[in-house]
Amino acid sequence: MPLPILALAIASFCIGTTEFVIMGLLPEVAADLGVSIPNAGLLVTGYALGVVIGAPIIAIATASLPRKPVLIGLAMLFVIGNLFCAVAPNYWMLMIARVVTAFGHGAFFGIGSVVAANLVPRHKRASAIALMFAGLTLANILGVPAGTALGEAFGWRATFFAVVAIGIAAVIAIAVLVPANKDEQKGGGILSEIKVLGKLQVWLAMLISALASAGLFAVFTYIKPILTDVSGIPTSTVTFVLLLFGAGMTVGNIVGGKLADWKLMPTVIGTLVALMFTHALLAEVSGNAIATVAVIFLWGVLTFVIVPPLQMRVVETADEAPNLAATLNQGAFNVGNASGAWIGGAALSWGVSYQYLPYVGSALAVVGLLVALWSLLLDRKARRERLLAKEGQQLSLEPLTGF
């Protein structure tokens, strides 16, 4: 891993741990602050809303600034935010600290992916983005379990203090290792960032991101009852299965970067097809514990195979001014998280059983596939028009050349 991208990966590990570790500490937080566990669970929702709301605000506010100082500032925001989480005297102060901290989440991953892509040759850009996102996947299989264990042993505040320490290391690493690009802002700024949002392909890429994420969370939100009630897996084993899912995500993230560097849109389309069938397979084998565990690992792989190519797709389609679009794509993933959980809950309330809930994920993958095919057709149409225009220009120049 190139050292500048390693610095970004350390920061993404810190951010991923910040986002997800609260889930394992809800009982401790609820007991310490005197609230119910469902109310403590709203700290997860508050963070997600902070990501969605903060992403465009931060991206627009920093559009005219060099990217390296912005990344350092965003990493410092996570340090300060987690410090306030650690010392929050009550529930509402903790909620405010979580929301404010989340404001930097989407912007960091959006701008960070642009920086990572620019640090390597063009044919390795998606792999560079995947390496940065590796910190996020590792947060799920290392940071969250370790943070949960630390919180259970020494209190939930100790976990946030530990994240502060990681965040300080990330700030130093970015400051020292990430090179400054003095030419990156020429011709850029707020107007360029907003103008690029007029491109249909940018919105189609973000829509695919939202649909892919919705397909995941429509099922994953309810994975515990699926595992325990349908597959018969003991509650004590669920954590192991979720760690296996996280390991699959880590593998998928690296594979997705490699595949996207090879063929970007075919990777997106192929993965959506694979997710469609994998969700269906999960529904059909969920009565068998061993088969379910195997499919869940595969599901984890496919879940993150699609992330680097989708982020790269947004950066590519918004190449003239990618900061805002890349940041909004992170918001799109979080919109998918929230809407997918709601869609899955609605399906259950309408009578869909836990066993067949994965078919909802299949349906959302089909919709994402249709959008991806539309985007690919528009690509080919634009390429054909450029070729025709080039040929017409050459023909118009021929008489002049002869003269």
Domain regions of the chain by residue span: 1-179, 187-395
User: What pLDDT, on a 0 to 100 scale, did the predictor assign at position 184?
Assistant: 54
Task: Tell me if the domain spanning 1-179 has CATH number 1.20.1250.20.
Answer: yes
This prediction has a pTM of 0.81
Using pLDDT thresholds of 50, 70 and 90, give the confidence band for residue 47.
confident
Fold match flag (1-179 vs 187-395)? yes
201: left (phi over 0), alpha (psi -120 to 50) or beta: alpha
C-alpha closest to that of 184 among 71, 314, 321, 313:
321
Beta carbons of 26 and 123 less than 8 angstroms apart: no
Mean pLDDT, residues 177-200 taken together? 70
User: What pLDDT, on a 0 to 100 scale, did the predictor assign at position 21?
Assistant: 83
State yes or no: pLDDT of 383 exceeds 70: yes
User: What pLDDT, on a 0 to 100 scale, did the predictor assign at position 117?
Assistant: 86
Higher pLDDT, 238 or 32: 32
Whole-number Å distance between alpha carbons of 67 and 69: 6
Q: List, in order, residues 6 or more apart from 7 with CB less than 8 Å away.
A: 170, 173, 174, 176, 177, 178
Beta carbons of 111 and 70 less than 8 angstroms apart: yes
State yes or no: pLDDT of 172 exceeds 90: yes
Q: List, in order, residues 6 or more apart from 253 with CB less than 8 Å away.
A: 130, 133, 134, 137, 304, 305, 307, 308
Whole-number Å distance between alpha carbons of 368 and 95: 33
Q: Which letter does DSSP use for residue 123 in this model?
A: G
Beta strands in 176-246 (DSSP E): none
State yes or no: pLDDT of 352 exceeds 60: yes
230-283 per-position pLDDT tens digit: 999 887 788 788 888 888 998 999 899 899 888 899 999 999 999 999 999 999
Whole-number Å distance between alpha carbons of 315 and 24: 34
> Could you say which of 3.40.50.970, 1.10.10.60, 2.40.37.10, 1.20.1250.20 is the CATH number of the domain covering 187-395?
1.20.1250.20
Q: What angle do CA 344, 345, 351 make, to 5 degrees?
A: 95
Q: Which residue has the tokens 């929050």?
A: 88
Q: List, in order, residues 6 or more apart from 119 with CB less than 8 Å away.
A: 2, 4, 5, 128, 179
Environment class of 77 (CB within 10 Å of its CB; exposed 0-12, middle 13-18, buried 19+): buried
Using pLDDT thresholds of 50, 70 and 90, give the confidence band for residue 403.
very low
Q: Which two tokens stand for residue 226?
A: 């699926």
